[in-house]
A and B are shown apart, each in its own frame.
Chain A
Amino acid sequence: MARVLLFGPLRDVAGWRERQIDSPSLSALRALLTDEDAALGEALAGKGVQVAIDQALVRGEAALTAASEVAFLPPMSGG
């Protein structure tokens, strides 16, 4: 089960911050989340939303394991 984390406004859209989700890849995870919650799916695909796997930014597709930590990061606002 990958650990999925949402930050900033994404958390408010989804109504959760962290979940354990079983998924073989990032694209499968996106599809699963979109099936469940279309508004969240749209927000995750939104402009400037980046993805970090195990705390490193990734672009495009990536494989996930049970130990993966997947973070969806909306545009960073600075402090």
Chain B
Amino acid sequence: MMIELTDSPFDPGALLTAFSKGRRETGAIATFTGLARAEEGATNILELEAYPGFTEAEIGRIAEQARTRFGLHDLAILHRVGKIAPGEPIVFVATAAGHRRAAFEACDFLMDYLKSAAPFWKKEHGPAGERWVEPTERDHADRERWS
């Protein structure tokens, strides 16, 4: 189970290749890659702050829940921190399971957590200045689906 933060751009394809290697009983791997959006020119740079150590540990608790709940063989989460340009990957999640449904659902579950409640603080820098971003009602509603 890999849970890491990075302040450098990453290649989701290379992560998937590495994650897929050497599995004999895994029938399904689902992945999600989130990219930074330009918001039609309103956002030049997205800045994500984490609390190193604490953030990975909190994500790890939810990842452990996902592993048990969906019977995952393995999972991987890589999350960017620092300044991120539009088009760059922000987050990569991969889940490995015996069959596809568990892999899809676990990936969805993990993303709903990561987008709404994980220990990150998010700031948008744009032509109109900078602003801290709160989770949307939609983010909270998505998270509620799993309770």
Residue positions of A touching B, CB distance < 8 A: 5, 7-9, 12, 52, 55, 71, 73-79
Q: Would you give the shortest CB distance from A8 to chain B, in whole angstroms?
A: 3
Q: Is the CB of B54 within 8 A of A76?
A: no
Contacts A55-B54, A74-B121 known; A79 to B79 CB distance under 8 Å?
Answer: yes
The listed residue (B57, B113, B116, B132) touching A8 by CB distance below 8 A is B132
Q: Would you give the shortest CB distance from B35 to chain A, in whole angstroms?
A: 12
Q: Would you give the shortest CB distance from B88 to chain A, in whole angstroms?
A: 13
Q: Is the CB of B132 within 8 A of A77?
A: yes
Determine the chain A residues whose CB is within 8 A of the CB of B79 once the complex forms. Answer: 79
Residue positions of B touching A, CB distance < 8 A: 34, 48-49, 51, 53-54, 57, 79-80, 90-91, 113-123, 132-135, 139
Determine the chain A residues whose CB is within 8 A of the CB of B51 once the complex forms. Answer: 5, 7, 52, 55, 71, 73
Determine the chain A residues whose CB is within 8 A of the CB of B54 once the complex forms. Answer: 52, 55, 71
Q: Which 9 A-B pairs have CB atoms at the shortest separation, nearest pair first?
A: A8-B121, A79-B120, A78-B115, A78-B116, A55-B54, A77-B122, A76-B119, A9-B132, A78-B118
Determine the chain B residues whose CB is within 8 A of the CB of A5 once the complex forms. Answer: 51
Q: Would you give the shortest CB distance from A39 to chain B, in whole angstroms?
A: 16
Q: Is the CB of B121 within 8 A of A7?
A: yes
Q: Is the CB of A79 within 8 A of B49?
A: no
Q: How far is the CA of A73 from the CA of B50 in the complex (A)?
A: 10
Q: Is the CB of B117 within 8 A of A55?
A: no
Q: Is the CB of A76 within 8 A of B120?
A: yes
Q: Would you give the shortest CB distance from B140 to chain A, in whole angstroms?
A: 10
Determine the chain A residues whose CB is within 8 A of the CB of B53 once the complex forms. Answer: 55
Q: Is the CB of B118 within 8 A of A79?
A: yes
Q: How far is the CA of A71 from the CA of B54 in the complex (A)?
A: 10
Q: Is the CB of A79 within 8 A of B57?
A: no
The listed residue (B34, B90, B121) touching A76 by CB distance below 8 A is B121
Q: How far is the CA of A55 from the CA of B48 in the complex (A)?
A: 19
Question: 26 A-B residue contacts at CB 8 Å?
Answer: A5-B51, A8-B49, A8-B121, A8-B132, A9-B132, A52-B51, A55-B51, A55-B54, A73-B119, A76-B118, A76-B121, A77-B120, A77-B121, A77-B122, A77-B132, A77-B134, A78-B113, A78-B117, A78-B120, A78-B135, A79-B34, A79-B48, A79-B79, A79-B80, A79-B91, A79-B115
